[in-house]
Structure 1
Amino acid sequence: MFFLAGMDKKYEPIEPPISCHCSFCGVNREWVLYKETELASLFFITIWRFTPDYLLVCGSCQYPMKLPRELGKQLALDSSQITAKQDELASLVAEHQKVNITTNRES
Structure 2
Amino acid sequence: MWIIFGWEKEQKPLGVVATTYCYDCRRSSEWLVSKESEWVTLSAIRVFRFILKHHLHCTGCSAVFPLTQAEFKQIDRHMRQHESIDGTDLHGSLAKTIEAEQLAGKTPLQLKFIRESMAAQEQYKAAIRSQNDQSP
> Aligning the two structures, in what range does the TM-score lie when normalised by the shorter sequence?
0.7 to 0.9
Aligned to 2:47: 47
Query: Comparing both chains, which one has the higher relative contact order based on Cα–Cα distances under 8 Å and sequence gaps of 6 or more?
Result: 1
Relative to its length, the structure with more helix (as a share) is 2
Relative to its length, the structure with more strand (as a share) is 1
CA distance change for structure 1 residues 86 and 34 in 2, over 3 Å: closer, same or farther?
A: same
Aligned to 2:92: 87
SS of 2:98 mapped into structure 1:
helix
The one-letter code matched in structure 1 to 2:106 is T
Structure 1, unaligned runs of 5 or more: none
Distance 1:76 1:59 in 2: 19
Aligned to 2:21: 21
The one-letter code matched in structure 1 to 2:94 is L
When normalised by structure 1's length, the TM-score is 0.78
Q: CA deviation at 1:77?
A: 4.5
CA distance change for structure 1 residues 5 and 50 in 2, over 3 Å: closer, same or farther?
A: same
Q: Max radius of gyration: which structure?
A: 2
Percent identity of equivalent pairs: 24
Q: CA deviation at 1:86?
A: 1.6
Q: What stretches of structure 1 move > 6 A for 4+ residues in a row?
A: none
Q: Does 1:96 align with 2:96?
A: no
Structure 2, unaligned runs of 5 or more: 111-136
Q: Report if aligned partners of 2:5, 2:40 keep a CA contact under 8 Å in 1.
A: yes
When normalised by structure 2's length, the TM-score is 0.63
Q: CA deviation at 1:47?
A: 0.7
More off after superposition, 6-15 vs 33-42: 6-15
The one-letter code matched in structure 1 to 2:76 is A
Aligned to 2:66: 66
Q: CA deviation at 1:94?
A: 0.8
Q: Report if aligned partners of 1:54, 1:73 keep a CA contact under 8 Å in 2.
A: no
SS of 1:30 mapped into structure 2:
strand
The count of aligned residue pairs is 103
Q: Report if aligned partners of 1:19, 1:29 keep a CA contact under 8 Å in 2.
A: yes
More off after superposition, 75-84 vs 9-18: 75-84
